[in-house]
Amino acid sequence: MSAKSYSSRDVELMRMAIDAAKQCTNVETAYNVGAVICSSDKTRVLSTGYSRQYPGNTHAEECALMSLPKNISLKDAVMYTTMEPCSQRLSGKLPCVARILESGRIAKVFVGVREPPNFVLQCTGMEELAKRGVHVVHVDELETECRLLNKHLN
């Protein structure tokens, strides 16, 4: 998870996830997160998502997966998310880590910032994904921008 493990294209796609997160409506009980899913060669954006895009307290990664075209047979897709995928949800809904793993389509996840302990004391999303064979990369140069998406919670 070093700074040298991502390219300028990865930064560009993470900025797209940041733009998606800016579509969120601020609420005091949830983060504003954006997500992008692209092809393994990073040439095609397949879907985007942002927190609360769909009814039912939906998370960005969940929305991006829901928006992923079903007719595309894709292996090794890449996800960009402004915040570490959740490993636990207080609502009892399926965590985003489980959704990513169950999709069987995501081979690599780029993360802008680790989940702060505002709602769940310790998120282990990055570790759980890595343990299950998903390559995880922290895009540290965009961490400040990703944190600012949730300044309403400070």
Burial of 16 per CB tally in 10 Å (0-12, 13-18, 19+): middle
Other beta carbons less than 10 A from residue 61's beta carbon: 30
* Contact by Cβ (8 Å): 111, 34: no
Catalytic status, residue 128: no
Considering the candidates 61, 84, 115, 128, report the single residue annotated as catalytic: 61
Burial of 129 per CB tally in 10 Å (0-12, 13-18, 19+): buried
Strands 77-81 and 45-50: unpaired
| Residues noted as catalytic | 61
